[in-house]
Structure 1
Amino acid sequence: MKRILTLVLLLASFGAFAQFVNGGFTPVSTAVNEQQESAITSDGTGGYVMAWRDRRKGTGSADSSDIYVQRFDGNGNMLWATNGIPACTAPNVQQLPKVVLCKTSTNQPRIMVVWQDYRAKVGTTTYTKIFCQAFDLNGNPQYATNGVEVADCNGTNNIYPDAVPALNGSRVVFAYNRRYDPDAYGNYFVQAINPDNGTTLFTGNGTRLASGIDMFSRAILLSELEGTQHIQVAWAMLGASNTPGIFAQRINPSNGSKVWAANLAIQASGYGATSFELKGDIVAWSQEKVNSQTGTDIFAQKLNADGTAAWTTQGAAVYVGPGTQSAPKISRNAFGETFITWNNLYSQGNSQYELFVQKLDPFGNRLFGTDGQLLSSNTGNRLPNVLEQPDGGTISISMTGSNQNRLLVHRLSRDGRRLWGFNGREIGSAIGGYIWNGVLPLSLSGGGAVIGFNTSFGGDNVYAGKFNFCETPPAAPAVATQYVELGATATLTATGCNGTVNWYDTNHQQGVIVGTGPTFSFTANATATYYAECVLDQCASLTTGAGQARVIIRSVQSGAWDQPATWNCNCIPEALDQVVVMPGHSVTLPTSYTAHARELRQEGTLQNSANSELRLSY
């Protein structure tokens, strides 16, 4: 039995982190067979909507997949029918849905789903089209059963449509690939949908952006530009009758006209067609190395309003170095800065992936050094996605584990500090199967965020996870210093926390959890420091309380104070140490030497030399 599940998680704002609420998953759909290819959007009321490809009615070549949709409130509770409601159950294959929040001409909210559709068939030949369906917030479909046709792809199959709201949600703009007779290759088009009735708004097939698209060039992305009514478009081409590369254009969604007189060539050589990203007016991509070197590097470009490149001609270098870089993701902040997170495959044979992030200033200059900031070196840490944060930082969520069956979350401050540890924090326990194609994060208007992802657990399934941001993290616990004999058991005690205490072996930003509870015990083989954080109502303290277990230092032989061999710790006593000169031992303070201790118990002999002294700090 296949399931779509939702999980409820909490993330703390400004550096705090929390675990699962109630510690588990809640099923969203228990329909048979696979659910996959999920998409997500806000519902405009603090909740969210997910759409997916669904195989519940069969897995054969005919009638093999439909499109379903479900709405959730801000706490992850389902608001529509159990197992979701159908957007389309027409014959043959429906796939690759996109879901968009929009509104009618009377300002009524609508959830629009746009998908690739193979219901049209002549003989044994299927013809790809683009269909859409809209729902009100109660889950009532607004158009004809199984949706309405909004584009004919004319025999092109590699469509991969993208869709975004435009003009404050009063229309939905989508991009698709259409064969343009007599050209045997595809052509990229953009078209707009009227949420009132599902009719198209641009003339004919829409606005043609580029022609001669190779059948494998299936990457075209749309992004709504803040502060303008325009839609930014970027696409990749592998060749055919055009020069391969990445290109861009802006569209006026009122009438479909091109804003720029000519398409902007962002990058025109050596491009891998599945590794580029568009966010507002920033494009990031992976690019083959020069001089026949193996691997790829990461570049980025800012697009000016007049259709020119804002940064260097070939783009700003995000990372140029060893390994194969891929899957760049972009987040922006209010300071005009751009975070770009990506994968670095540094060992081809062993699939050793690292996760890096770089920050660019408004002029394309690197701010995190030449190589960027290493976020995680976990094996198989792949396919990140990102969320902007109001403090100017970014959150990255990625797959990890040898089977790609775990999720890690990383929070980076604006100045580049890893606030959730060197390798981030794992979200829950390992998921059965492996995660497909990364994760889909979405910030919610009511606060917090949600992520969606596909997994092969029990077949193919779709999950979603709700995050809340902690408004008032608890204070860090207080931990008193303890004095203990060498080799004895030391127990540190944290006070001032009404929740759960986590103990770290180093500071809060870099440490790993070594214990949980108000006390932490260990064998004191040397003086050691541990750090305690407080987790209350799923929010963690921003800092930690540091506590030490200091070994009581005893002489093991006669000798000089400044010689480690004189003492049981094989160290030199410091200002916070309790020191004991044992019976029968004579310890000498060297000439012109200042010794330090918190307190001294003299059971043997302490001898001074010229200009020597012992300073006690108790």
Structure 2
Amino acid sequence: MNTPHRITGLLLFLLVIPAFAPAQQLMWDSTGVPICTADGWQRYPRLVTDGDGGAIIAWEDIRVGSNPAIYAARVTRDGAAPWGENGVEISGHLSGQRMAGIVSDGGNGAYIAFWNRAGGESDLFLQRIDGNGSAQWATGGITVCDADGRQEWAEMIPDGQGGVIIAWQDGRGDDNDIYAQRFTREGTALWTANGELISDADGDQNYPQLATDQARGAFFTWMDRRSEDDIYAQYVKADGTVAWEEDLPVCIEINRQVAPKVLPYGDNSAVFFWQDYRLGPSTSSLYLQIINEEGEKLYLDDFQVSQSNNAQSGMFLTDDGRDGALAVWTDYRAGAGEGDVYMRRILADGTIIGDFGNALCDYANTQERPTMISDGEGGGFAVWQDKRNTFDYDIYMNRISKQGLTNYPEWNNHDGVLVVTHDNNQLAPQVISGGPGYALVCWYDGRTLDGQADIYAQRIAWSPSLAFPDSIDFGINKVGQTVHDTVRIWNDGATPLTVTNVRRASNPANTHPADFTMYPSFEIPKTLNPGDDMLIPLSFTPGGIGDRISELRISSDAPQDPVVIPLHGLGTNPRLRTKNVHQFNVTKVGATNEEMVEDMLQNTGTGVLLITNIEFDGADAAKFDLGSNPPFPLTLEENEYFPLKVTFSPDGVGTFETMMKVYSNAGSGSEDVRLAGFGARPALITIPVGLHFDSTMETSSVEAQVNVRNTSGVELVVTAIQLAGQDPDQFALDAELPMRIPGEGFQPFTVYFRPTSTGMKKALIVLTSDAPSSPDDMVVDGVGTILSSDRPSAVRGFAIDAVYPQPLRPSQPLGLRFT
């Protein structure tokens, strides 16, 4: 069975009374938890995950004087505020700060970007904070750009390596241009100091947006006034290189094109959206285009997302979890003062679902400023500010299916569900995932009646999440034999999950549904509370040879409905042929001999043979084992041999035997192979058995060779050869150690006789080995004699008479006289 695969809807928030709304549950106080209620204005909150089911929220804060500062707070999954009441200050500059963006650092912290305005100029800064709220860089952050003029309206994305890419509009020249910079998590700038130039065309380039290219670079887009308001784009690689020779005109139709957005699309493309007035200076529509890294457009003509006699605006984008995208916006097709929330889905192949958009909420009065998160399966959840009560704004949400429909009765269909209502206005909601089946939303809130605004947040259990194996593989089985398995599915989401149907389904024309059987030991419908599981017993009985496939379909109210789990098995009708007996070579006692037997196993049947286990039986079984083979099961195709490695480890001298029992899918029993081996110990002799050197003059040296012979059938290892006895200093040895002498083999060493005085010299040569007789020794001796002397004292009593004739003839006797 393969690794479980989780399908999770994204997170959203919602309803009022959990007892009557099982599809939604507010996890904190019904009106939200306060993130910051300090004096003055707190506005424009943005949030990212804290990596543990909570969030880090940043905002502009005017609690002191009239100049905003940047603050941030962390809220845990339980609604606690570990950084203290009202957050921590991120910016440290004296002049007014403006919020630029926040992205996760990939752990428990975040990057926060902001700019300050002072004396008609503004500079751009970046700070990184950890999960404890501590700044990781200098007070006030590091400088992104402090060039002349204004650096403002920045946006930021992760770079895929733990750092960030940030883009901004830059007024260092005669008009606004687009610059960008990439930073590591240590705060090191990787591109040109003060920013890499992205576009400096004539006129203003304003309000940049960017999206990752999945390769540490980014796609950029902006509103461009080189003629009139149009949309342009550029692609920048990971090293900061501008990839396209010229800025790419995304849309340069008549009238204005404004408010561009961009989102990653597939592996190497991006989808671009914008608000477009080509149909008339007072009629805005929404358009999109998909462009790859080569600058090629997917659509010949820009794709019109929405059209009406009135305006569409405030578009928000997110991915759909399936290599496509989701777009949500405010739509005034019902009337200039009747803003509703609409959406469309763009599939991975560029197909657009929905006829000019489907309504998420078309309730009376105004719904606006929607944001959305994906459920990972093509659907999603949207939240917006809603003035249906006619006098102030509340926060609502709705759920969307992968077909782009809002047809869930428990979500009030097109009306949506209340997240929070309170005195005065609740505005500008933002939403992120809070874990499987959970959502986190924050907003700024005017409930205090002081004409100011505070920051509040809520965590909502909104969805079940069905976890399941991505496939079931029964493996290789003999035709007609049945094997069993159990499929486990479970709810790892936040709300109850209802399984409405489980069935085995596939087309008999090209699959094999009859080979797979489901045993319904459960009742349908079945409700799984969070954490509950459900077991589905299955069996596989192959009806033929080869791949056998089917599928298990599970219907539920989870976002990914329906779940399709592929079922697979391989039918086979093999036959196992084994060697009858294998005799090991003579093996040294205490050693292990591994031998590969090429023809030990063979599949002589049809289909795949699986060797499922091998055991050893008999009194000597412990002395035999398998060698370094692959793990079971061993697979043999038709007519294939398997070269099996087996080992023999004798613990004594003599013959040993065992029965190797081979089990396979060819039958219910085993095929038996007799293994035999003989244990032996090494034996050592020297040739010669003793060594005698003839008389040797002192201070001279003579040498002789000795052969160490192994008279056994197993390896002999000689580890030391040393001199001992009466005169070891009169001899020397030259031997390569250790000697590893194969059975019936020999290896020589050299003995030197180097007498330093006259007379008989004697020593022992001692050989240490793994032979049972070790240590073995042999005698070596020799006689030292006179090298030279003028008249040695022992010879002075002798004299040689005159020798005649001269020269001496062969064998002529000499006369000696003793005095």
After TM superposition, the score normalised by the length of structure 2 is: 0.50
1:297 matched to 2:285? The reply is: yes
Cα distance in structure 1, aligned partners of 2:403 and 2:34: 39
Match of 1:346 among 315, 321, 333: 333
Q: CA deviation at 1:456?
A: 3.9
| 1:409 aligned residue | 397
In the superposition, relative to structure 1, how do residues 360 and 136 fare at CA in structure 2: closer, same or farther (>3 Å)? Answer: closer
Q: Which amino acid aligns with 1:302?
A: I
5 Å-filtered alignment, 1:11-160, equals 17-21=23-27, 22-59=29-66, 64-102=67-105, 110-118=109-117, 121=118, 125-152=119-146, 154-156=148-150, 159-160=152-153
Cα distance in structure 2, aligned partners of 1:411 and 1:446: 15
Q: Which amino acid aligns with 1:130?
A: L
CA contact (8 A) 1:115 1:131 kept: yes
Q: CA deviation at 1:151?
A: 0.7
Q: Percent identity?
A: 19
Match of 1:392 among 358, 370, 378: 378
| 1:311 aligned residue | 299
In the superposition, relative to structure 1, how do residues 211 and 424 fare at CA in structure 2: closer, same or farther (>3 Å)? Answer: same
SS of the residue 2:124 aligns to: strand
1:454 matched to 2:444? The reply is: yes
Cα distance in structure 1, aligned partners of 2:443 and 2:203: 29
Q: Which amino acid aligns with 1:150?
A: V
Cα distance in structure 1, aligned partners of 2:39 and 2:158: 33
Cα distance in structure 1, aligned partners of 2:281 and 2:397: 33
RMSD of equivalent CA atoms: 3.3
How many positions carry a matched residue from both structures? 448
CA contact (8 A) 2:44 2:444 kept: yes
Q: Which amino acid aligns with 1:439?
A: P
| 1:331 aligned residue | 318
In the superposition, relative to structure 1, how do residues 208 and 433 fare at CA in structure 2: closer, same or farther (>3 Å)? Answer: farther
Q: CA deviation at 1:417?
A: 3.0
Q: CA deviation at 1:457?
A: 3.9
CA contact (8 A) 1:38 1:97 kept: no
Deviations 1:545-577 (A, max 9, x none): xxxxxxxxxxxxxxxxxxxxxxxxxxxxxxxxx
After TM superposition, the score normalised by the length of structure 1 is: 0.66
Match of 1:356 among 329, 342, 351: 342
Q: Which amino acid aligns with 1:247?
A: Y
5 Å-filtered alignment, 1:145-544, equals 145-152=139-146, 154-156=148-150, 159-169=152-162, 171-181=163-173, 183=174, 185-196=175-186, 198-212=187-201, 218-226=206-214, 228-237=215-224, 239=225, 241-253=226-238, 255-270=239-254, 275-280=259-264, 281-290=270-279, 292=280, 294-313=282-301, 315-346=302-333, 351-368=337-354, 370-378=355-363, 379-401=365-387, 402-403=390-391, 405-418=393-406, 419=408, 420-436=411-427, 438-445=428-435, 448-458=438-448, 459-471=452-464, 542=557
Q: Which amino acid aligns with 1:154?
A: D
CA contact (8 A) 1:150 1:193 kept: no
Cα distance in structure 1, aligned partners of 2:241 and 2:109: 25
Q: CA deviation at 1:20?
A: 2.7
Q: CA deviation at 1:466?
A: 1.7
SS of the residue 1:423 aligns to: helix
Rg (Cα) greater in structure:
2
Cα distance in structure 1, aligned partners of 2:447 and 2:233: 38
CA contact (8 A) 1:150 1:199 kept: no
Moved over 4 A (4+): 7-12, 212-215, 270-274, 534-537
Cα distance in structure 2, aligned partners of 1:447 and 1:429: 19
SS of the residue 1:453 aligns to: strand
Cα distance in structure 2, aligned partners of 1:472 and 1:164: 28
Deviations 1:571-616 (A, max 9, x none): xxxxxxxxxxxxxxxxxxxxxxxxxxxxxxxxxxxxxxxxxxxxxx
Q: Which amino acid aligns with 2:247?
A: N
Q: CA deviation at 1:469?
A: 4.2
SS of the residue 1:204 aligns to: coil
Cα distance in structure 1, aligned partners of 2:288 and 2:177: 25
- Which ranges of structure 1 fall in alignment gaps of 5 or more residues? 1-6, 474-499, 501-533, 544-618
SS of the residue 1:91 aligns to: coil
